[in-house]
Amino acid sequence: MIAIAAFAMTGVLAVSSKGIDLFTACVMGTITAIGGGTVRDLILGVPVFWAVELNYIWVSLAASLAAFFAKPLLDRKHLFSLMLYLDAFGASLFAIQASNKVWDLQFGLPIAPVILGVLTAIGGGLIRDVLAGHQTLLMNRDLYAIPILLGCTIYVASLALFPEHRSISAIACISCIFGLRATVIHWGLTVPHWLITKPKHD
Amino acid sequence: MIAIAAFAMTGVLAVSSKGIDLFTACVMGTITAIGGGTVRDLILGVPVFWAVELNYIWVSLAASLAAFFAKPLLDRKHLFSLMLYLDAFGASLFAIQASNKVWDLQFGLPIAPVILGVLTAIGGGLIRDVLAGHQTLLMNRDLYAIPILLGCTIYVASLALFPEHRSISAIACISCIFGLRATVIHWGLTVPHWLITKPKHD
Amino acid sequence: MIAIAAFAMTGVLAVSSKGIDLFTACVMGTITAIGGGTVRDLILGVPVFWAVELNYIWVSLAASLAAFFAKPLLDRKHLFSLMLYLDAFGASLFAIQASNKVWDLQFGLPIAPVILGVLTAIGGGLIRDVLAGHQTLLMNRDLYAIPILLGCTIYVASLALFPEHRSISAIACISCIFGLRATVIHWGLTVPHWLITKPKHD
C-alpha cells in the first residue's frame, strides 16, 4: 500500500512540471501506480488485481490528490529525494511480489517471472510517459530497470534452488534492488558510455 | 452505431491535418472508435465487443472511408462543429453504456464502472494520439474527460440508490454529459488557471 | 524462429541510432518481436504464445544481443538490406500465421483474421516506436502495412473459398506479401501523393 502511494505520488510529480489539472493528476498517478500490474495480469490471464482489492485504487487516488495539493511542498529538495527512495522501495517490492505471483501460477518458467516482475515495476511509468509525451525511461541513461532486472533474476534463481527459503530470498532481493537503486540515486550514477551504442552523427 | 461512426470520423479528421493515406485513415478511425471498448473488455476479461458483433467494425471502417473522402467538405466550419457535437453525444453514450456493462458484471463496484466508463470514452482517442505522435487530451486544457467523469459518477450513484429507475438515470446522465460537453464546445471553455499546477520556468 | 530473430534484430537497429544500452536493446528487440503477437493473443483471449513456447523469448533475446554487438557490422549497407528482406519475410510469415490462428478459433469471421494478421505483423514495431518516441510507421509514407493487409485479405478470402487448399494459399500469400515488400524495398517506393490528404498549411 505504501508502495502504491509512493508510485502514485512520483507519477504525479513526474508530469506536474508541464502544468496539469486535478483530473489529469489523478489519472497519471493512478496509471503509474496500477498500470504495470494491470498489464501483468492481462498477460497472465487472471483478473486484474485492483478489481479484486479495490483499496489499491482508493490509495492511489488519495495519494495522487495529496501529491497534487502538496506539490509546492514536495518540490523542496529533501522531500523529493525521500520520494525517490520511497519509489525505489515500491519498485523493488512490486517486482518481487510480481515474480512471486507468476511463479506460483507456474506461468512460463523460468523466464516469465523475471520479465513480468520488471514489467510490473516499470510498466506504469512507461504508460504515463507515453501518455504525457515524455521520453520513456528506456531511452535515457538512468539506471532504473537494471537493478530490478538483477533482483528478479536472483529471486527466481533462488526460488528454483532453495524453494524452502522463499521469504528469506524475497527479503534479500527486495533489499538488494533497493540498495542498488539507493546507490544510483545517491551518487547520481548513469549507464557508462562504453555500454551504449554510439548515436549516429549524420 | 451512430456514436461509433461519429467517433471514427472525428478520429480521421484529428490526424488528417498531418497528411495521411487511406490505410492510415482507416486504422486511425477504427482505433478511435473501438480502442477504448477493447481495453475495457480486456480488463473485464470478457470477449471484445467487436468480435461478438462485427457490425461495429464495418461501421467504423465505412465511416473512416467516408471521412477520408469527404474531408474537404468536413473542413468547413459548420460541418466540423456538427461532428464535434456528434462526438460529444457518442462519448456520453459510450461512457454510460460501459458503466452499465461493468455494473451488470458486478466488477469492482463501486469505482470500476466509473473508471471503465471514462476509459471507454477516451481510450480510443488516447491510443490514436499516441500512435500519431500528438499531444494526448490528458495534457491539454480542453474539458473533455471531466464531464464524462461527472456523468459516470452520477450514473453509478443513481444505480446504487435507485436501481429500479435504471433507464431514466441513463438518459439523464447521457443528457448531462452531452449538455456539459456542448457548453464547453459552444463557448470554448478550458480548465481554469487556478486548477492547474504551475509549469516550471527554468 | 528465423522470423522472430529477424524482427528482434531490426527492432534493435531501428532504435540503436539514438544511443541505447544493452538492457534497452534487449527490451526493444523483444518487444518488436513478440509485442504484436501478445496483443493479438490478449484480444483473442488465449494464453500468450511466448508463455506456451518459451523458445520465442530466448531466440528474441539472443537476436537482440547479437544485433547490439554486431551493430557496426550490420550498419554496412549490404547486410542492412539483407535484414530488411528478412524482416519482410518475417512480417509476411507472422501475418499469415496469425490469420490462420484466428480463423481456426472461428473468431470474428471474416474481418478479425485480417485485422489481427496485420496487427501481429506491425504491432510490435508500433509499441517499440511509441516507447522510443519515434514517429510510428502509420504516420510516414513507407509502404509497410498495405502489402500485409492485401496478403491477409487474399488469404482469408481463399480460406473461405477453397478451404481444402489451405497450405497452398498460405504459401502463395506469404510469397505475395514478401514479393510486394521486396519491390517496395528495392525501388524505395512510397505512398503516391494523390492518395494522401493534404497537410494543412496555416
Q: State ipTM.
A: 0.79
- Rounded CA separation A61/A59 (Å): 5
Which residues, in sequence order, are bridge partners of residue B196? A21
Q: How far apart, in whole angstroms, are the C-alpha atoms of residue A29 and residue A67?
A: 9
Contacts of residue A50 in chain B, CB cutoff 8 Å? 108
Higher-confidence residue of C108 and C23: namely C23
Q: How confident is the model at residue B75 (pLDDT cuts 50, 70, 90)?
A: low
Omega within 30 of 0 (cis) for the link into C110: yes
A74: confidence class by pLDDT, cuts 50, 70, 90: low
Q: Give the pLDDT confidence score for residue B28 in this predicted structure.
A: 83
Give chain B's mean pLDDT: 78
| Confidence tier at B25 by pLDDT (50, 70, 90) | confident
The CA distance from B12 to C49, in Å, is: 33
**How far apart are alpha carbons B121 and A32 in whole angstroms?**
20
Q: Is the pLDDT of residue B16 over 80?
A: no
Residues of C within 8 A of B54 (CB-CB) are 108, 111-112
Contact B173, B149 (CB under 8 A): no
pLDDT score for B194: 60
Nearest-CB residue to A54 (from B111, B130, B191): B111
For C40-91, the pLDDT digits (tens) are 888 888 888 877 778 888 888 888 888 777 776 666 667 677 777 877 888 8
Whole-number pLDDT of residue B197: 61
- Per-residue pLDDT band for B202 (boundaries 50, 70, 90) equals very low
Lowest mean pLDDT among A172-176, C125-129, C189-193: C189-193
* pLDDT at A44 exceeding the cut of 80: yes
**Residue C118: which of C154, C83, C85 has the closest Cα?**
C154
- B91: cell is 462519448
Q: Which residues of B touch C (CB under 8 A)?
A: 15-25, 27-28, 38, 42, 47-48, 50-52, 54, 57-58, 68, 71, 130-133
B149 and B181 in contact (C-beta within 8 Å)? no
Q: What local confidence, expressed as pLDDT, does residue B77 receive? A: 67
The answer to whether the CB of B60 falls within 8 A of the CB of B8 is yes
Distance CA B189, CA A195 (A): 50
Q: What three-state secondary structure class fits C70?
A: coil
Identity of the residue in B42, B139, B146 whose CB atom sits nearest the CB atom of A133: B139
DSSP class of C196: B
From C153's Cα to the closest Cα of chain B, the distance in A is 14
Chain B residues within an 8 Å CB radius of C108: 50-52, 54, 57
Name the residue type at position C81.
Answer: S
Are A122 and A11 contacting, i.e. CB atoms less than 8 angstroms apart? no
Written as nine digits, the cell of A14 is 513526474
Confidence of residue C198 (pLDDT cuts 50, 70, 90): low
Residue C146 grid cell: 498495405
pLDDT at A31: 85
Find residue C142's DSSP bridge partners.
C190
How far apart are alpha carbons B106 and B95 in whole angstroms?
A: 17
Neighbours of chain B (3+ CB pairs under 8 A): A, C
Q: pLDDT grade, residue A77 (50/70/90)?
A: low
| Partner residue facing C108 (CB), from B18, B51, B71 | B51
Q: Which of C168, C161, C185 is nearest to C91 (CA)?
A: C185
> Residue C149: its chain B contacts at CB < 8 A?
23
- What residue spans define the domains of chain B? 2-195
- Give the up-direction half-sphere exposure of residue A29: CA atoms within 13 A in the CB hemisphere: 32
pLDDT per position as a tens digit, B106-160: 776 778 888 888 888 888 888 888 887 777 777 776 777 788 888 888 888 888 8
> Phi/psi of residue B44, each to 5°?
-70, -20
Phi-psi region for residue C25, left (φ > 0), alpha (ψ -120 to 50) or beta?
alpha
Q: Is the pLDDT of residue C190 over 80?
A: no
